[in-house]
Chains A and B, each alone.
Chain A
C-alpha cells in the first residue's frame, strides 16, 4: 500500500503530512494512484508547503458542520476534509458512509476551531442553523451557507437547489445534475412499482411510549411522498422541521390512515407498547396492519430521500403481496 508507506516517510514533517493526507482524501478513492503521481504530489508539497497555487486545480478541501451537506458531498463523490460529530452521523444518517480518514470536527454547534484551522480547508459549508458561527469560521476559510429546510417554498425544489450549490462549490456540477436526475428517476421508478390504492399514510416516529413525531408538511418525508404520489393523512400544522410532536392518542382520529412506524424505537418502548392499551387498540383495530420502516434520516438531503423512498416502497409492496387483497379490492390485472 503506497499510501501508508509514504505517510510513514513523512512522519517527521507533521504539517506536510497533514496537507498530503488531505490531498489524497480528495481524490476519488477508486482512481488508480500511480506512484509517479504520488511522487509528483509529494514534491509539490515538500517544495511549496503552502501549496496555494496547486489548490485551485484540485477539488477544494471542504469542511462541513451539517450532516445533510456532508451527505450531499459524499453522494457527489467528494470526501469532505472534516465533518462534525461523525460517530453520531454513522448512527443516525448512516448512508452514504463517511470514510475513516475524514476528520471529526467535534460538536456540530461547537466545532473545534483549533482542529479546523489546522486542517486548512479551502471552504466551510454550514446551514443557517449555525449562522452565529460564521464570523469565527470565516477567519479559517470562506464560509458558504446552504439552506435546506429553512427557506420558504417547495422542499423538493429547495433540496435540488441546495444540491446544485454544493456541487458548484465542489466543482462537480455534472455530478450534481447526475445525482438529481438519478434520484428523481429512482423515485419515478418507485412510483410505478407502488400498489394502486394505498391509503393515506401516517408517518410516525416514537419518542417514548406515549409521544410520537408525526411527519407532515415541510419535511423531507413529505417531499418524498409527493414525488411518489402518496397521500399523507397528517395535515396538522408542523414546525420548521416538518413534524408535529403529539401524544399517541391523536393518532386515533385517523381511522382510515395506514400507520408507518419509522425505526428505531427508543429502548424499552417496544415492550411498553405491548402493554399499552391505547397502542394495542390502534394496532389491532385497523384495516391495514402497522408497518415498520428501517431508519432513514428525517432531516437529510437527496441521498436520504432516495433511501427513504426505497424503504417505503419496499415495505408497501411487500405488504400488499402478503396480506391483501380483501374481497372488495380491485383485482390485479
Chain B
C-alpha cells in the first residue's frame, strides 16, 4: 500500500481520467460538427439548425452532463453507505433502492399507468424509498446495526427482484421499454434529465457536507462513538436516507448503474484518501469521470451495433474485472469476529428433525397427488389418471434435490466464511453457470438439453477456477472470497441486462429459466440429481468437525489442528459442485441456499452435523412446496419454483429478522 499511495493519489487519478475524458469528448464532438458549432450547441439552437447541431444540443451534451452527474451522485451515495455500514461492499444497490424503484415502475406500468404520466422519477423515488423504509423497519430493533441493515437490504433486494421477475415473466412485451431503463441507458433527448438532477444532487452534496463531522465518528466502533455523545440511530438514519435520496434521483433518470457506487469509493480509498471529507470529494469526482469516460467510449465503439448497449450494464461488466483486481488490495480486516455467532440461538428439541421429515412427506404426497387441468382440481386417488405422475414426479424430485443441494452449499459457505450473507449465489458459481448457459442459448440456435448441460458445467468449473486462482494465495479468506463472488455475480447481471434490454424475443426463454424453474427436468435427470443430492449430503457429514471449528476464526481453528487452507479449499470445491448441479437443474435463483441454513439455525440446529441435516430438510421442504404452489397459483401459467421460494422464504426471513 505505501508505495502505491505515493505513485497514485486521488488527484492524479482524477487528472488522468479528466484528460482522457476531454480527449474522447473532443473526438466525439468533432465527429458530428465543427468544434465551434459543437460548443455553440450548448446554447439553445434554432429550428433551422443542421441535424448535427441539433443532435449535439439535444442529445450529446445532455448525455455527457447526465453521465457526470449520475456518476458523482452514485459515488457520493456509495461513500455515505460504506461509511454508515462500515462495509466496503455497501453500495446504492445493496439496500434495495434500485430494485425497489425497478419494481415500483414495473407495477405502475402494468397497474396504474396514470402514475407514470405524473412523472416516472416520482414513482421511482417513492418505491425506492419504500423499499429502503422496509429495510430500516427490519433493522430498527437492532439499532440499525450495520450487519443487520446489510442483511435486510439483501433480502429486500431479492424479494423485489423476485416479484419483478414474476411480472416480467408474464408481461415481457409491455415491459420491454422498462428493461432498457433498468439496464441503465444514458441516452438523452433533451435537457429535462439534467435540469431534474443537478439541483437535487446539489442539495444532497450540501447536506452531506453538513453531517460530515458526526459521520466521521461512525468509523469508530459503536461503543466509542456512543461515548462521544453521538446518537447513532438517528445519525445512521439521516445519512442513509440522504444516500437513498441521491440514489433514487439518479436511478429515476438513468436507470440502474450499480458498479460506480461501489468502485469509485473503493478506488479512492486505495489511492490513499483516508478521511471522510476528501473521500467524499474525490469519490464523487472519480465516479463522474468513470461513468463519463465509459459512456464516451461506448458511444464511439458501439454505435454501429443493431442493438443498444446500455451504459449501466457496461459499467457492471467492465467493473467486474476491476473489482477482482481490487480485492487483494482492499485492506479488509481478516480477524473480525463472525457476526453469525452473535445471533441468538435456541436449543433444538430432539423431535424437530422428525417433525420436519413428516412435513416433508406430507408435502411430497400433496405435490404428487393433486393438481389442476382443464376441468379444475383433480385428486389422483379419485380421478385415477396415473399418467399425471410422469409429469409431476420429475419436478418434485428435482425441486427436492435442488433444495437439498443449495441448502448444503449455503450451510457450508456460511460456516466457512463466518458470514451470514454468504450464499452460493454470492459466491458467483450460479452466476458463472448462468452466463455460460445464456450465451449457449443465444449463440447456438436450437441447442439440445445435453449441450446446455455440458456448457453449464463448463461455466461452473471456469468460475470455480477463477475463484481458486484469485484466492489461493490468500488462503481463501472469507471476505475476499465473497468479494470475488460479488464481482462475478455483477458480470452475470450485466450479461442478463444486455440481453433483456435488447428486446430479443428469446429473452422470454432466458427469463423463464433464470427464475429457477423445475420445468425443464425430465425423469432421468431428476433421478440423477436426487441421487447426487443424497450422496453429497452423506459426504458432507464427515466434514462436520471442520465446519464446527472454522467459524471460530483462523487462529483458533489452526490451534485446534485444522489445516485451514486445505479445509477451505475442499469445502469451497464442494460448494461449487453442489451449486453447479443445482443451477443446471433449476436455474441460478438460489435464495434457498441463503435461507435454509438461516432457518435451520433459528430453529436451533447449531452443531454442524445437525445444521447440515436441518438445512437439507428445510431446503427440500421449501422447494417442494414452492414448486407445487407455483404450478397451482396462476394455473395454467406457472410461476417458477425459485421465485415462489424467494417470495415465501423472503417473507419468513423478514419476519424472523424483525424478531432478532
Contact = CB atoms under 8 A, between A and B. Distances in A.
Contact of A244 (B185, B307, B452, B511): B307
A34 interface: no
B58 A135 contact: no
Contacts of B635: 106, 112, 115
A110 B512 contact: yes
A252 B51 contact: yes
A278 B59 contact: yes
A233 interface: no
Contact of B449 (A88, A108, A135, A278): A135
A332 interface: no
Nearest to B170: A107
A239 B505 CA distance: 11
A201 interface: no
A211 interface: yes
A268 B506 CA distance: 27
Interface in B370-405: 371-375, 383, 385, 387-388, 390-392
A109 B59 CA distance: 38
B304 A239 contact: no
B177 interface: yes
The winner among B452, B635, B636, B637 for most chain A CB atoms within 10 A is B636
B449 A266 contact: no
A110 B627 CA distance: 14
A220 to B, nearest CB: 13
A299 B508 CA distance: 15
Nearest to B192: A275
Interface in A262-288: 266-269, 271, 275-279, 281, 284-285
A211 B307 contact: no
Interface stretch (B149-157, B440-448, B595-603): B440-448
Interface in A134-184: 135-136, 139, 150
A109 B509 contact: yes
Contacts of B640: 110
Chain A interface, >50% SS class: mixed
Contacts of A252: 51, 54-55
A110 B59 contact: no
A214 to B, nearest CB: 9
Contacts of B304: 236-237
A252 B517 CA distance: 44
A245 B504 CA distance: 10
B373 A253 contact: no
Contact of B503 (A18, A213, A279): A213
A115 B522 CA distance: 17
B417 interface: no
Nearest to B441: A132
B299 to A, nearest CB: 9
Contact of B59 (A107, A247, A275): A247
Nearest to A266: B177
B375 A241 contact: no
A111 B517 CA distance: 12
B425 interface: no
Contacts of B308: 211, 245-247
A253 to B, nearest CB: 7
B569 interface: no
B306 interface: yes
Interface string B267-309: 0000000000000000000000000000000000000111110
Interface stretch (B93-101, B112-120, B233-241, B330-338): B112-120
A299 B447 CA distance: 22
A284 B47 contact: yes
Contacts of B177: 206-208, 211, 266, 269
Q: Contact size class for A?
A: 35 or more
A50 interface: no
A260 interface: no
Contacts of B173: 88, 91-92
A88 B391 CA distance: 26
B566 interface: no
Interface stretch (A24-32, A123-131, A311-319): A123-131
B54 A281 contact: yes
Nearest to A145: B446
Contacts of B167: none
B357 interface: no
Given A211-B180, A213-B503, A268-B116, A113 B191 contact: no
Contacts of B54: 252, 278, 281
A196 interface: no
Contact of A106 (B371, B506, B638): B638
Contact of B374 (A115, A128, A279): A115
Nearest to B120: A268
B502 interface: yes
A269 B59 CA distance: 17
Interface of A: 14, 17-18, 88, 91-92, 103-115, 117-119, 128-132, 135-136, 139, 150, 206-211, 213, 236-241, 243-249, 252-253, 255, 266-269, 271, 275-279, 281, 284-285, 299
23 contacts: A88-B171, A103-B636, A106-B636, A107-B512, A107-B637, A118-B373, A128-B446, A131-B447, A135-B449, A135-B522, A206-B177, A211-B185, A211-B187, A236-B304, A237-B306, A245-B180, A245-B501, A248-B189, A249-B58, A275-B192, A277-B189, A277-B191, A278-B58
Given A92-B173, A245-B307, A246-B308, 6 more contacts: A107-B637, A110-B512, A118-B373, A210-B185, A248-B59, A278-B190
Closest 6 CB pairs of A and B: A267-B113, A247-B187, A268-B116, A131-B446, A249-B59, A278-B189
